[in-house]
Amino acid sequence: MVAATVVTFVVVPAFSQSTAPVQACGTATQGIVDTAFESTARTIYLGERGGAEVTADLGHITSASYLAQAVADNDVAATVAATHRLVYTRHWHIVRLRVLSEAGGLLADVGGPSILAPVRGKITYQGSVVGSFVMSVQDDLGYEKLVTRFTGLPIELYRHGAPLMGRLWPASEVLLQPPADGTRVSVSGVRSVTVAYDVSAFPIGVTRVVLAIPQASAALASDSCVVVNELTYGRIARTIAELFDLPRTAENFVMLDDQYDTTKLIFVRAGSNQIASTSGQAGPATIPTSGTIDYDGQTWIVYSFVPVTPQSRVRIYLLFPDAAPTTGSTGVS
């Protein structure tokens, strides 16, 4: 069971390095926050369709000669046995595998009932295509767990217009039909705004994902849009950092967090000793805990924090480009 994470934003003071007046983000604030969280959740989904694990499992399937021969022989029993072997091989992570003949007839379908992120491929035998398959490495529950672990957000999935399953979202507060983007809801007493998007269900169709994102406060809206973006991705980084045994797994933290906003730079340091960083960059000799810094020919905004982990003696620095972010369905750019 994943513990609930309260999503909050720490408003930082105005940057001492600049004397220019701050232009408040104002009515654009919620859109910046929504886009950052949605981009993170969508990136998690895309990883379930094209990550290293997907590549490895595709290789397991396409190289399984016992499956290819069973399909070539149109032997249903042998195909079911081969499919079962692939799905339940220890340390592999195929959660469902559906195998079809060359003519499109169903030969086997093994795995869990609520699956998303299907990936398709061909089955060949002795150089000829003899069938096809649909596979997935992630079920609906697993996706929800990742989203809540990495963002702290309540999430609900809908299939055929009805609630399917959710996390951190009390059943009594779940809407019976998927809400539109921007619907104001209350989740466990937190005033929130919904973000909704579709992902592919298995083997066909769509599953509707609905996130409940905390409503931006007036204090947050008084900051610039650059700072709003920084604080939102900073909050996500804090949530992710709590999952790691730092500093031992600092490189793993950097690799994971880097996926969700590739415009920023990450530096994990213990005093003057650098433990991990984006692409192994040396980075600035010293980094302030907040404010701005000039590095690599441009100005960066600094967000830093000390991870709340028992063994942590490090500070994580996130450097964001000092440029206004834009909002859109595919994330902040």
Q: Which helix (H) or strand (E) holds 38?
A: helix 29-50
CA distance 209 to 195: 8
Helices and strands (DSSP H and E) totals, the chain: 8, 16
Residue 299 · residue 292 · CB < 8 Å = yes
Show the DSSP H helices in 93-163 as ranges: 140-151
Q: Are 211 and 41 in contact (CB under 8 A)?
A: yes
Q: How far apart are CA 234 and CA 305, in angstroms?
A: 9
pLDDT at 21 (0 to 100)? 57
DSSP-based three-state secondary structure for 28: helix
Q: pLDDT 10s digit of each residue in the chain, 333 long?
A: 334 444 554 433 332 233 345 799 999 999 999 999 999 999 999 999 998 999 999 999 999 999 999 999 999 999 999 999 999 999 999 999 999 999 999 999 999 999 999 999 999 999 999 999 999 999 999 999 999 999 999 999 999 999 999 999 999 999 999 999 999 999 999 999 999 999 999 999 999 999 999 999 999 999 999 999 999 999 999 999 999 999 999 999 999 999 999 999 999 999 999 999 999 999 999 999 999 999 999 999 999 999 987 666 899 999 999 986 765 544 433
C-beta of residue 257 within 8 angstroms of C-beta of residue 263: no
Task: Specify whether the CB–CB gap between 122 and 135 falls below 8 A.
Answer: no
Query: What pLDDT does residue 323 have?
Result: 84
pLDDT at position 330: 42
pTM, 2 dp: 0.88
Main-chain phi, psi angles of 163, to 5 degrees: -60, 140
Positive or negative: CA dihedral 49, 53, 58, 59: positive
**Given this model, what pLDDT does residue 13 score?**
32
Q: Which residues contact 204 (CB under 8 A, 6 or more apart)?
A: 118
Q: Which residues make beta-bridge pairs with 120?
A: 134
